[in-house]
Structures are given as C-alpha cells and as structure tokens.
Amino acid sequence: MQQLDIDVSALLETMSGQLNEKMAQRPNPKMIGIRTGGEWIGEALHQRLGLQEELGLIDISFYRDDFSRIGLNPQVKPAHIPWDIEDQHIILVDDVLYTGRTIRSALNEIFDYGRPASVTLVVLLDRKGCRELPFQADVVGMQLECQQTIKVTGPDPIEVTISEKAEVSA
C-alpha cells in the first residue's frame, strides 16, 4: 500500500475562496457541519470565511437508512442549530462524499427543522464514482478514486491519509 498525505490547509484555503464566490449572491449564509469530520471541516471554513452566525452541528445517526442493516450502536450527540433554518441559505459541510447516504440523512434532519432557501454542499474529499444516491458537491477540496482508502483525523490538526493499492508486477 502506498500512503499519500494531503495538505489539508491548502485545500481549505481553495475551498474558502470557491465558497466566497458561490455565496456572494446569498446574504448571511449559515453553516452546518455533520459530526464529526464535517464538524472539523466546518469549523475551519467558518473561521476562514468570518461568518457572523455560530456554526450549526448535526449528528445524522438516527437518520441513516442502513441503521438496522449495519447494526449501529451510535453515541448520538444532540443537534446544535442556534438559529432558525426557515428561508436561510445553508452551507452543509462534510469531510467525505462517498455514497451520498450521509448527505441524504443530513438533508432529512435539516428539513425537520424547517425549509431552507438553499443548501450548498461542501466536502473536503469527493470519492467520485461511488455514488448510490444522486448527490454532487458544490465545493470540493479534492476528488479521489472510489477504491482509495481514506482516513480523516482531527480536529487539530485535520489530517488526511489516502492509501492506494500498489501495482502488482507480473
């Protein structure tokens, strides 16, 4: 296995620039991080963007559609959304976009709180080609191959390690 280390700080800088451009026409956006990796990425972006409103946090454990199939015994933390969702421009942040199921769960939870004006999806890493549901991020730090193994650790510092299978010689 070959290990690739990623410069997360550089990715976050690029993402914050892209996000600033996207949010220029959307006044006073509110940011929500998905626990736990999305929380770490959300905190870093929230600080870089200088958003006025506090970062919101959600734990999608009870909203997962594979809850019974994979036998989750979650340590669920309560959601923390310190402002009204209704008619707000929401920036939804996660660490890795893989199958799309986490994002579906997050949207279900957000809509339980109200109907936002818009949702902009931001992910640090996009495992393109692995989707089971039709979701696409608006801002992506880096795209990866589906078969790569990813480990995100944090919160300070946030680090990403990607393992790739080495080519087998004949």
Domains detected in the chain: 8-63+77-144 (3.40.50.2020)
Task: Return d(Cα 49, Cα 132) in angstroms, integer.
Answer: 31
Task: Return d(Cα 66, Cα 131) in angstroms, integer.
Answer: 15
- Asked whether the bond before 149 is cis by omega within 30 degrees of 0, the reply is no
Task: Return the H-helix or E-strand segment holding 21.
Answer: helix 8-22
- The confidence score (pLDDT) of residue 165 equals 57
Task: Return d(Cα 149, Cα 169) in angstroms, integer.
Answer: 21
Q: What is the mean pLDDT of residues 54-65?
A: 86
User: Residues 143-166: pLDDT tens digits?
Assistant: 988 877 777 878 788 888 777 655
Identify the residue whose tokens are 């870093």.
Answer: 44
Q: Does pLDDT of 170 surpass 90?
A: no
Q: Say if CB 75 and CB 103 are below 8 A apart.
A: no
Task: Return d(Cα 41, Cα 114) in angstroms, integer.
Answer: 24
Three-class DSSP category at 156: coil
Q: Does pLDDT of 168 surpass 50?
A: no
Q: Which band of pLDDT confidence, cut at 50, 70 and 90, is reported for residue 65?
A: low
- The confidence score (pLDDT) of residue 15 equals 98
Q: What is the mean pLDDT of the chain?
A: 87
- The confidence score (pLDDT) of residue 111 equals 97
Q: Say if CB 158 and CB 152 are below 8 A apart.
A: yes
**Which tokens sit at 73?**
């015994």
User: Residues 120-149: pLDDT tens digits?
Assistant: 999 999 998 889 999 999 999 999 888 777
Residues 6+ apart with CB under 8 A from 154: 36, 37, 40
Higher pLDDT, 3 or 154: 154
Per-residue burial over 1-21, b if 16 or more Cβ lie within 10 Å, else e, is eeeeebebeebbeebbeebee
Q: Does pLDDT of 102 surpass 90?
A: yes
Higher pLDDT, 162 or 107: 107
Please state the pTM of the whole predicted model. Answer: 0.88
